[in-house]
Chain A
Amino acid sequence: MKVTVTVMLKPGVLDPQGKAIGQALHTLGFANVGEVRAGKVIELDIAENDPARARAQAEEMARQLLANTVIERFDITLS
């Protein structure tokens, strides 16, 4: 089962990378761009056919390693 974990900085945590990307986009002429946030996408191929179990496992992986929940939140999507 393909599982995608998206890790983003929590709202309120300064994201200087997102800010820099936003400034670069403005420089390129994309004047209507507001806030930009940058994160990570991690794709996992899990040998598991049960969606609920795959999700539960991915959540555990995110909590233990993929995300640092002091500063980051994560979303999981199955496909």
Chain B
Amino acid sequence: MTVGLLVFPGINRERDMAIALERSFGRAPRMVWHRETDLAGIDLVVIPGGFSYGDYLRCGAMAAHAPVMQAVRAHAARGGYVLGVCNGFQILTETGLLPGALLRNAHLRFLSRDCHLRVERADTVFTSRYRQGEVFRAPMAHGDGNYFADAATLDRLEGEGLVAFRYAPPTGNLNGSARDIAGIYAPNLRVLGLMPHPEDLVDPLMGGEDGKPLFDSLATALAA
């Protein structure tokens, strides 16, 4: 069971993500530089947050065309697991592995604070250690997290059970995302993108372990 953690120039959350992954998997992930093209042996690709390529053009637009993303597309097409957080989610939408786009936050502010997420379903490899409907705390840190898709796409996501997490009270929907969507799955439920950072709460010393079940879920599912 090997995790590949992608690193693009301008990504700055890969160390936090590596710590969270190692805590749950018991093994450090393999860091994969954006120029690499071989993901052989990697079961789970994780794309961390940050500001790849300085957010030039659009958040994630340049990274979507980096050499490694061809390999990630092939990995996903083979049914491989992919997790994208924050900039990683933006990169997944720009690559077309997930539908929709992340727009500038509705009130233009960069939001760096805790938010609350509701688990829409607890029967996926990413969420089995949560309960359906459970609300957990996750830090957010983004300027462009306002999820947008046309009405037909939103209906399809909801109809097919592909909404992973929604912003929930007490903090609610802070960035204006359509239908409070904070994270979505690909149709095979093996690709997940979300804006907030579960990896920021995986140790009591960080102020909580609300995000740890996500990584524990993955570690359990992929060890089996």
A residues with a Cβ closer than 8 A to B are 13-14, 16-17, 20, 40, 65-66, 68, 70-71
| A-side interface mostly | mixed
- A to B contact number (C-beta, < 8 Å): 34
Given contacts A65-B61, A68-B61, A70-B149, contact A16 B101 (CB under 8 A): no
Residue picked from A17, A66, A70, most chain B C-beta under 10 Å = A70
Q: In chain A, what residue has the closest Cβ to B104?
A: A16
Contacts of A20 in B (CB 8 A): 108
Contacts of A16 in B (CB 8 A): 104-108
B residues with a Cβ closer than 8 A to A are 57-58, 61, 65, 93-94, 99-101, 103-108, 146, 148-150, 176
Q: In chain A, what residue has the closest Cβ to B100?
A: A70
Interchain CA distance A66-B107 in the complex, whole Å = 25
Residue picked from A13, A20, A66, A71, most chain B C-beta under 10 Å = A71
Given contacts A65-B61, A68-B58, contact A13 B148 (CB under 8 A): yes
A39 to chain B, nearest CB (A): 12
B179 to chain A, nearest CB (A): 14
Within 8 Å by CB of A70, from B104, B146, B148, lies B148
Top 6 closest pairs, chain A to chain B, by CB: A70-B101, A71-B101, A16-B108, A16-B104, A20-B108, A68-B101
